[in-house]
Structure 1
Amino acid sequence: MSRIGKLPIKIPTTVDINVTDNNVVVKGKFGTLERTIPEVIKVEQTDGTLIVGVTNETRTNKALHGLYRTLINNMLVGVSEQFLITLELQGVGYRASVQGKSLVLNLGYSHPVNIDMPDGIEVEVVQNTTLNIKACDKEQLGLFAAKVRSWRPPEPYKGKGILYKGEKILRKAGKSGK
């Protein structure tokens, strides 16, 4: 049995959860999330906790057991607290701004980069070079942050690019002079 899957999930008081046969719907103050689960995973709700189980224990089912327990836990945390990823722009002239439902980045190209923000994702710009991205769906949040970062990944020579907060870049020595 999965060690992660065995752990019970505590349901926050501000969250409503509805478990049907193959569907889990979670509603909280930051939104509503829905996920379809496989038939081998069973979810039982008992006074304030969720217990995720598996019908038969094969290697694949054990892996799914831990995975879906974590996914359901992330749904509960997301709708009650939201997830946050902070990106930092490092480079001369690099800056960001939010205009309506799009994120505008100046990254040293001849044109500004416009990225449409999906529903459920909020972007806050701090000091022109720091982006705080918030969402209740951890999966969508990570994909959007990776999409923004893909426009200027950090490079090892000057350290310029879009970095996650706290990320360290391994710097390389450039050409050696004669």
Structure 2
Amino acid sequence: MGPFVPRYFHSSLVKLDVREKINAAVKMALKEKDLVTSTTLRSVLSEVYNLDKATGSKAPSPAVAGVLRKAVSRRTESATEFIRCSRPDLAAKESREAEIISALLPPLLSETEVNCALQEAVGQCVTDDVNPRQMLGRILKAFYSKIDKSNVDSDFVKRRAEALANAPRP
């Protein structure tokens, strides 16, 4: 069986938030009797409901996307660990679950978009002989005030921001 790709989520006419995508995918998986997909998505939906309980209200779509990204990250790390421990069967299961969840994630911003937003954030920061660590903090604060953290790869953003903070300024 190939990777799970929801057929109707890629249409530009259908604009569902992340929570609605998960619910629709669970229903579709149940109709198609796809036990792996339905179980995986139900576990993620359970994490989303726990987030709702923790916040006291319905979590916004970016927070739900963050839960999905963490779930994908956990499963990817587990798959890597299972491969290291010579358990390809369990690694394949974890990789399959990561693919299922990844299909529901909104796309990340491109490197170009991140670079433009970081350049704009650097332009906003005051550069009066501040050390690079303080400059990095200011850049990241300005960047994340405009860009939602769930829409970017935070490791990439940090690396690019560090490079910009350590770059010589005119």
TM-score by length of 1: 0.28
- Which of the pair has more CA radius of gyration? 1
Give the structure with the higher percent helix.
2
More relative contact order in 1 or in 2 (CA 8 Å, sep 6+)? 2
TM-score by length of 2: 0.29
